[in-house]
């Protein structure tokens, strides 16, 4: 099921949104118990929304995503619907407002089926830190789907929906896209409004799409992108044109294969990246090997900056206004009890790490130093883009790993984000596109990186790889 085909068919009256949604709900019913993809399903609401889409189509509205079912990562606020960010501390919370992207999807005729599982507050790379249990990879249920947007990726990979939204703070769209054999886009920081996205690390978070194909991802991104006055950090410009550039190709483009973005990857992953480079060369690009040593500092900088911002963003979960409250004799005791019970270990680890990095006496050595590394990272990428248009590397060091393989070793888990983090620190764009398979026939993703606002170019390059290496 392809989003473009669904929308065209609903617009043409060949099928109805209600039929499409009902069919998807059946697929959810078949596999959700096994995979734990949706942690909240709104079947009734989805069918009602679909009926309204059908009415709008009948009234002549031309909706780009007419009747297209979508899964929303559970950190996106939907008015009146449970929104937990995968955390026990928000159990039962129903936001009184919609995230900007949720409104834009609905305006374009998409129908949200419900909320997809995620690592708690998007902190994780395997969707195992969710308070609502792990999500399994539809391609091999003994393995993780990646994370933190693992539920969104799994929903698309399992055929429950054609497209989904996730959020990417350090790779949380691209890595699960790679592990589930999907296209995933981490847009330029500020391209998509964060209003209504439950914050993990504000200066790094971006919302982006999952899809089976580049064209579907491009269409969804066009719908959700563009300036939003409710997000001060949103870029002051309309959504870019992406779909019309998909067939631009890569002829004449200069591509840099980044040594540091394949170092330490499994041989089969390295091999896939090499073959991707050859494919781009055959399509008319010039590929050269480049080195950006600063990339190696990314992991350390990220694991200071993101937890620091998170420690502050998550302070509001104090039991006073919404969500969980565990009572105590006084308000401080109540705060402590609520947070101790409400947060899982990974969230506690990051809150403490971030609190430490910001606290008196350590700020300069840790947080302050990390912000300077960020400057160096941005400068290093700028130097690379002075020579090449696009950078190429691996998305993740390996194919999907087994459930539980890294849960006892936080640092090992953190290392699975090593190739994706630099883009977030730089605020730039990147796409993960499936390219070949590895161990057990599991998909491998390769990553295309570009400067800010380079989405059209990256998607055109991804399309070249898709034509060669896609299914």
Q: Give me the 73-112 binding string for other proteins, x by CB under 8 A, dash otherwise.
A: --xxx-----x-x----x--xxxxx-x-------------
- Whole-number minimum distance, CB 110 to other proteins, in Å? 19
Our CA angle for 224, 36, 106, nearest 5°, is: 25
Residue 231 contacts other proteins per CB under 8 A = yes
Residue 152 contacts other proteins per CB under 8 A = no
Give 328 or 438: the residue with its C-beta nearer to other proteins: 328
Footprint on residues 323-362 left by other proteins (CB under 8 A): 323-325, 327-337, 339-340, 343, 348-349, 351-353, 355-356, 358-360
Give 151 or 319: the residue with its C-beta nearer to other proteins: 319
Q: Could you tell me which stretch among 45-53, 273-281, 294-302, 440-448 binds other proteins (CB under 8 A)?
A: 294-302
Give 115 or 194: the residue with its C-beta nearer to other proteins: 194
Say which of 49, 87, 172, 311 is annotated catalytic.
Answer: 172
Footprint on residues 39-78 left by other proteins (CB under 8 A): 75-77
CA–CA separation, 144 and 246 (whole Å): 31
Give 29 or 341: the residue with its C-beta nearer to other proteins: 341
Assess whether 148 carries a catalytic annotation. Answer: yes
Assess whether 172 carries a catalytic annotation. Answer: yes
Give 137 or 338: the residue with its C-beta nearer to other proteins: 338
- Whole-number minimum distance, CB 386 to other proteins, in Å? 18
One of 279, 311, 420, 432 touching other proteins (CB under 8 A): 311
- Whole-number minimum distance, CB 135 to other proteins, in Å? 21
Footprint on residues 161-220 left by other proteins (CB under 8 A): 189-190, 194-199, 201-203
Footprint on residues 431-450 left by other proteins (CB under 8 A): none
> Are 114 and 103 spatial neighbours (Cβ–Cβ below 8 Å)?
no
Footprint on residues 393-422 left by other proteins (CB under 8 A): 410-411, 414
Give 368 or 440: the residue with its C-beta nearer to other proteins: 368
Pair of tokens at residue 227: 């300036």
Residue 232 contacts other proteins per CB under 8 A = yes
Q: Which sequence positions are flagged as catalytic?
A: 73, 148, 172
């Amino acid at each position: 099921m392809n989003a473009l085909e669904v929308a065209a068919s609903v617009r043409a009256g060949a099928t109805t949104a209600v039929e499409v949604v009902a069919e998807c709900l059946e697929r959810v019913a078949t596999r959700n118990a096994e995979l734990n993809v949706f942690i909240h399903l709104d079947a009734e609401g989805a069918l009602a929304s679909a009926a309204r889409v059908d009415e709008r189509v009948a009234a002549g509205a031309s909706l780009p995503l007419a009747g297209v079912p979508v899964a929303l990562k559970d950190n996106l606020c939907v008015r009146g619907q449970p929104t937990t960010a995968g955390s026990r501390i928000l159990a039962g919370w129903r936001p009184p407002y919609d995230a900007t992207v949720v409104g834009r999807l609905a305006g374009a005729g998409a129908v949200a089926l419900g909320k997809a599982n995620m690592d708690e507050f998007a902190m994780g790379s395997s969707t195992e830190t969710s308070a609502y249990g792990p999500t399994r990879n539809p391609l091999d249920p003994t393995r993780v789907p990646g994370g933190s947007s693992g539920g969104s990726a799994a929903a698309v990979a399992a055929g429950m929906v054609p497209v989904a939204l996730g959020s990417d703070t350090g790779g949380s769209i691209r890595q699960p896209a790679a592990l589930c054999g999907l296209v995933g886009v981490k847009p330029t920081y500020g391209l998509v409004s964060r209003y209504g996205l439950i914050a993990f690390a504000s200066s790094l978070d971006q919302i982006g799409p999952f899809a089976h194909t580049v064209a579907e991802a491009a269409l969804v991104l066009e719908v959700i992108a563009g300036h939003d006055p409710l997000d001060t950090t949103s870029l002051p410009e309309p959504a870019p044109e992406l779909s019309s550039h998909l067939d631009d190709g890569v002829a004449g483009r200069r591509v840099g294969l980044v040594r540091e973005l394949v170092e330490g990857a499994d041989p089969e992953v390295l091999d896939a990246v090499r073959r991707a480079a050859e494919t781009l060369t055959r399509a008319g690009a010039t590929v050269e090997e480049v080195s950006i040593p600063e990339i190696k500092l990314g992991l350390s900088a990220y694991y200071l900056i993101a937890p620091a911002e998170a420690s502050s963003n998550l302070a509001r979960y104090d039991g006073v206004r919404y969500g969980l409250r565990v009572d105590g004799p006084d308000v401080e005791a109540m705060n402590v009890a609520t947070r101790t019970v409400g947060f899982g270990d990974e969230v506690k680890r990051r809150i403490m790490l971030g609190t430490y990095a910001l606290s008196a006496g350590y700020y300069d050595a840790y947080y302050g130093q990390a912000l300077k590394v960020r400057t160096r990272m941005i400068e290093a990428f700028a130097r690379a883009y002075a020579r090449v248009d696009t950078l190429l590397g691996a998305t993740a060091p390996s194919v999907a790993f087994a459930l539980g393989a890294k849960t006892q070793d936080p640092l090992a888990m953190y290392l699975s984000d090593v190739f994706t983090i630099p883009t977030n620190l730089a605020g730039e764009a990147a796409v993960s596109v499936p390219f070949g398979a590895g161990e057990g026939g599991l998909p491998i993703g390769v990553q295309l990186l570009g400067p800010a606002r380079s989405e059209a170019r990256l998607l055109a390059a991804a399309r070249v790889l898709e034509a060669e290496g896609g299914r």
